[in-house]
Structure 1
Amino acid sequence: MKLHVISSSSAGNCYVLESEASALVIECGASPETMFARTGIDARKFVGAVVTHEHGDHAAHIGKYADRAIDVYASQGTLAACRIDKAHRAHTLRPMQSVMVGDFVVRAFDVKHDAAEPFGYIIEHEECGKVLFATDTHFIRYNFKSLRLN
């Protein structure tokens, strides 16, 4: 498993978890073109993108990812605030819901932030175990010790 850090700042956040067979985008704060150029990953390898909340540094390019045939996953509040809640490639998640995104298991959990309906994620894959992703949150009310996170 490789972690690609495309950008991580108030100008834009975007990361990619890449397994042997697939890749998952975390945050759409950088354009797909920038992400593809910085990773060199074949577009066919991407199984989806998860977004924590609607602020531009995390979601400015969410519609472009959907336009590039990459399914995007977020809360209803985030998708609505980004104005893509009716898009074919937009998928609504609920807190504590787990979904398969390619060969990744993604579980959303609610966090506290000044956004419509912000989420953090536990992302699981056989190549990396369980990874917790949370950003821009005042605190996390859950205790994840029993999950044996990496």
Structure 2
Amino acid sequence: MKNVKVSVLASGSTGNTSLIETKHHKILMDAGLSGKKIKELLSQVGVDINEIDLAFLSHDHSDHSKGLGILMRRYPRLNAYANSGTWDYLIKENKIGKLPVEQINTIEPGEEKSFDDLTVRAFATSHDAAQPQYYVFKSAGKKMAFLTDTGYVSKKVIQVIKDCDAYLMEYNYDNQMLRDGPYSWQLKARILSDYGHLSNDQASSVLGEILSKRTKRVYLAHRSQHNNSLELAHQNLVNYLQQHQIDLPDLKIIDTYPDHPTELVSI
């Protein structure tokens, strides 16, 4: 049986998109870069953009959505999924252009949908967008959860995403760097709020509740260019696991980048 494969094509404040590949589907998780750039990133991991048949959108912010409209218009086989609140906002505000109606599909928070060898479950998150949500993807006995752009992780979400084979987890900011950084206090307060983003400390604490012996890969994602560093995010999780005596010798901690993809690998 063909394994589930994943590549984080780009992640950060400037744009986010990932590839999930199963035996029957090639899926984009978010499309927050230009269509041209997404095509280029896919080619770097050996995937033709014409093979992409599903896309799942987390929320309306441009660093997650801005390339989706052009991809839908250019590639008619691409079926896109988001919740009704996100679609309503994108269409009403004309954020990503006119969308082909036949390619618009809904998946609501708490809903689970199946596509041949793939099952996708949506769950609500806490962010200052129209109706933010993220997803757990299941196929061939493997399970991966994506979670960024949330200021708070509820116990309900913990139950939904625990015990996965792989995670993409937001490591947006280091507390001290954010407080000392160039942003206005209003923007800092927004990032620190329950509708903002996860800090390195918060993300590691969440992972401490959901990791299991089953988990083999954690992708550290959505790192702020101004308020974090690759080294701080990575070392935060290493230190947390050591301090809490969480021994997972098979776990790989994988850094992600705003401008180039991680290797396309089986989870």
TM-score past 0.5 threshold: yes
Question: 2-side partners of 1:25 and 1:131: how far apart?
Answer: 14
Give the stretch that moved more between structures: 111-120 or 83-92: 83-92
Deviation at 1:100, TM superposition (A): 2.2
Q: 1:6 aligns with which of 6, 9, 27?
A: 9
**Other-structure match for 2:109:** 95
**Other-structure match for 1:79:** 87
Question: 2-side partners of 1:147 and 1:136: how far apart?
Answer: 18
Counterpart of 2:87 in 1: which secondary structure? helix
The answer to whether the 8 A contact 2:25-2:54 is kept is no
Deviation at 1:130, TM superposition (A): 1.1
Deviation at 1:148, TM superposition (A): 2.8
Question: 1-side partners of 2:12 and 2:149: how far apart?
Answer: 11
Question: 1-side partners of 2:10 and 2:161: how far apart?
Answer: 31
TM-score between both structures, scaled by the size of structure 2: 0.51
Greater fraction of residues in strand? 1
Question: 2-side partners of 1:33 and 1:77: how far apart?
Answer: 27
**Other-structure match for 1:57:** 63
The answer to whether the 8 A contact 1:29-1:60 is kept is yes
How many residues align? The count is 149
Question: 2-side partners of 1:116 and 1:97: how far apart?
Answer: 18
**Other-structure match for 1:130:** 143
**Other-structure match for 2:153:** 140
Distance 1:146 1:58, change over 3 A: closer
Question: 2-side partners of 1:146 and 1:106: how far apart?
Answer: 12
Bigger radius of gyration, 1 or 2? Answer: 2
* % same residue: 26
**Other-structure match for 2:244:** none
Counterpart of 1:88 in 2: which secondary structure? helix
**Other-structure match for 2:245:** none
Deviation at 1:103, TM superposition (A): 3.1
Give the stretch that moved more between structures: 37-46 or 50-59: 37-46
- Point out which structure has higher relative CO (alpha carbons under 8 A, 6+ apart): 2
How big is the alpha-carbon RMSD for the aligned residues of Structure 1 and Structure 2? 2.2
Question: 2-side partners of 1:145 and 1:52: how far apart?
Answer: 16
Runs of 4+ in 1 over 6 A off after TM superposition: none
Question: 2-side partners of 1:124 and 1:112: how far apart?
Answer: 23
Question: 1-side partners of 2:122 and 2:12: how far apart?
Answer: 22
